[in-house]
Amino acid sequence: MQARQQKEMPSAAATAEPVIRAAGLTRDYHLGDSIVHALRGIDIEIARGEFVAIMGPSGSGKSTFMNLIGCLDTPTDGRLWIAGEEVEHLSPDDLAHLRNRRIGFVFQQFNLLARTSARDNVEVPLIYAGVPARERHERAHRALAELGLATHERHLPNQLSGGQQQRVAIARALVNSPDILLADEPTGALDTRTGLEILAIFQRLNKAGLTVVLVTHEADIAACADRILRFRDGRLLSDEVNPAPVDAAAELAALPADDEEKEGAPPCVHPQESEPR
């Protein structure tokens, strides 16, 4: 049986000030003489404290959207507000500050610096934020400890498992205490159990107030979110509240122990097929 989260309201923050607001958000890519319409005018509001999953076929514009709301890219047209500030009106310094302090990004392939210890990877955003060395070490240590990696600070990425590397990446994303965590297929390179561990971390952070926006191809991962957006051909096809989000920690507890888990055991929570890539 699936464990469902006890939430007083599925989208508890639905009436609060939107932390992300997009109007007619458009992104074209020019390739020689042709134009790729990656996003064709997205209108959306995401409230502070929501946990939103984004699904949709490959090429439907999910990563393009994430890169725009993460201020890693600029739209061709349309308007975007992050934490009430219209991005277009920010100076380059203010934009860098917004990106560094308000938004944490987690990627499928972890994107850690290869020859750099876990702690030094987590310190990178603090270096950009101009935090002095001693405070950097302390904050990176705390962020890693909160993700169960206190004893792995000095490990290089290739001395860590995939799940541990993703937890280092999450610690790096959180070390500046952002308002928003953007995760583009964060469990795509992980097995079912490890993926659920990451989801349980996201749900814990979300309960503490962090806004989470996560891209996934897996229906059972999206089932952990409060709200599910579906993209198709650069458009928002549907936007639905999930009335009973799956509780990832409870699902994890219900999984058989590692040594009992059979090869090819079905994924955790949802019976339906994941969508094709």
Give contact residues for ligand ATP (rule: CB under 6 A).
29, 31, 36, 38, 56, 58-64
Taking the complex as a whole, the smallest distance from the CB of residue 208 to Mg ion amounts, in Å, to 27
Q: Taking CB under 5 A as the criterion, which residues in 58-77 touch Mg ion?
A: 63
List Cβ neighbours of 153 (8 Å cut-off, separation of 6 or more).
117, 118, 119, 140, 141, 144
**In angstroms, what CA-CA distances link 178 with 67, 164, 229?**
16, 21, 22
Q: Which is nearer to ligand ATP, 47 or 71 (CB)?
A: 71
Q: Which is nearer to Mg ion, 56 or 125 (CB)?
A: 56
Which alpha helices (H) appear in the chain, and where do they start and end? 62-69, 92-102, 118-128, 133-146, 162-174, 192-207, 219-222, 248-254
Taking the complex as a whole, the smallest distance from the CB of residue 68 to ligand ATP amounts, in Å, to 10
Q: Does 216 bind Mg ion (CB under 5 A)?
A: no
Comparing CA positions, the residue from 249, 272, 268 lying closest to residue 191 is 268
Q: Does 165 bind Mg ion (CB under 5 A)?
A: no
C-alpha 203/C-alpha 55 separation (Å) is 18
Taking the complex as a whole, the smallest distance from the CB of residue 3 to ligand ATP amounts, in Å, to 28
Q: Which is nearer to Mg ion, 142 or 235 (CB)?
A: 235
Question: From Mg ion, ligand ATP, none, which one binds at residue 9 (CB under 5 to 8 Å depending on kind)?
Answer: none
Instruction: Quickly count: other Cβ atoms within 10 Å of residue 266's Cβ.
Output: 10
- Comparing every residue's Cβ against Mg ion, the nearest one is 63
